[in-house]
């Protein structure tokens, strides 16, 4: 995967924020930048956990019309094959998506097999892959993501070796410098050009317009 600098991606420079297993403020801002550039209205998140990312994005972007979160149930036969890591099987059913359930645009799919059991019935504009972090499951979740005619696929935790190895097999994948986020733009050439042009800073923009990206990051950081 190739690297895109923070300046080229955001139009402003920033100091990376590290730490924590969830999506941090800069990573949320990166996803937000893609949502705006890609005119995203339908989101699928694989590995929604308690819904922290979903809540932040739904609150920040009223243009999102629907948001589906997918995750495993806490107990039961079938959940064990997804991961040998206890922390990836430890969520009780009542916790999955709980932080975003107040939003009527949000729905959650849970099963013992998680994304392995999920059969989408609609297309999505953006798919956020943040489920099981083993190489095989990142590849499976990426394959699942491609079945919903996405404009954009985003991966989290590309600092992990297995995730990076899986994403490296996507020749057009781009890693946003200073984050654990990578993405690829799909659909047709015109859409890809629209998204990438929307990401590129315009030298003709005035300081006030460029400041909008900083404001976006501030807004997301407050969530």
Vertex 61 angle, CA 60 and 67, to 5°? 110
Strand partners, 44: 68, 127
Phi, psi of 106 (to 5 degrees): -100, 135
DSSP structure string for 34-54: HHHHTT--EEEEES-TTSHHH
pLDDT tens digits for the chain (223 residues)? 999 988 888 776 555 555 445 788 889 989 999 999 999 999 999 999 889 999 999 999 999 999 999 998 765 443 333 444 444 444 444 578 888 999 999 998 988 888 888 999 999 999 999 999 999 999 999 999 999 999 999 999 999 999 999 999 999 999 999 899 999 999 888 898 888 888 765 533 433 333 334 555 555 444 4
Which domains can be identified in the chain, with CATH numbers?
2-9+23-214 (3.40.50.150)
What span, in angstroms and rounded, lies between the C-alpha atoms of 190 and 38? 11
Residue ranges with strand state E in 12-90: 42-46, 66-72
Q: Which of 164, 209, 221 is nearest to 28 (CA)?
A: 221
Instruction: Give the pLDDT of residue 219.
Output: 52
How high is the pLDDT of residue 15?
57
- Residue 84: the pLDDT is 41
pTM: 0.82
What pLDDT sits at residue 75? 53
**b/e per residue 165-196 (b: at least 16 CB within 10 A):** ebbeebeebbbbbbbbbbbbbbeeeebbebbe
Q: Which of 82, 156, 66 is nearest to 114 (CA)?
A: 82
Cα 179 to Cα 176: distance, rounded to the nearest angstrom: 6
């Amino acid at each position: 995967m190739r690297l895109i600098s923070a300046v080229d991606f955001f139009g402003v420079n920033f100091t990376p924020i590290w730490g924590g297993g969830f999506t941090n403020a800069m990573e949320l801002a990166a996803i937000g930048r893609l949502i705006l550039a890609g005119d995203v209205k339908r989101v699928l998140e694989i590995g929604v956990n308690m819904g922290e990312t979903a809540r932040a994005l739904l609150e920040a972007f009223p243009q999102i019309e629907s948001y589906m979160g997918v995750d495993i149930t806490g107990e039961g036969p079938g959940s064990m094959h997804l991961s040998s890591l206890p922390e990836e099987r430890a969520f009780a059913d009542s916790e999955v998506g709980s932080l975003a359930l107040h939003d009527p645009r949000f729905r959650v799919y849970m099963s013992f097999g998680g994304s392995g059991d999920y059969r989408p019935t609609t297309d999505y504009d953006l798919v956020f892959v943040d489920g099981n972090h083993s190489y095989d499951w990142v590849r499976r979740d990426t394959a699942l993501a491609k079945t919903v005619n996405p404009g954009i696929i985003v991966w989290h935790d590309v600092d992990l070796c297995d995730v990076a190895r899986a994403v490296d097999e996507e020749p057009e994948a781009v890693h946003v410098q200073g984050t654990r986020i990578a993405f690829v733009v799909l659909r047709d050439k015109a859409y890809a050009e629209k998204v990438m042009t929307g990401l590129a800073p315009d030298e003709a923009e005035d300081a006030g317009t460029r400041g909008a990206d900083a404001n976006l990051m501030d807004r997301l950081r407050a969530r």
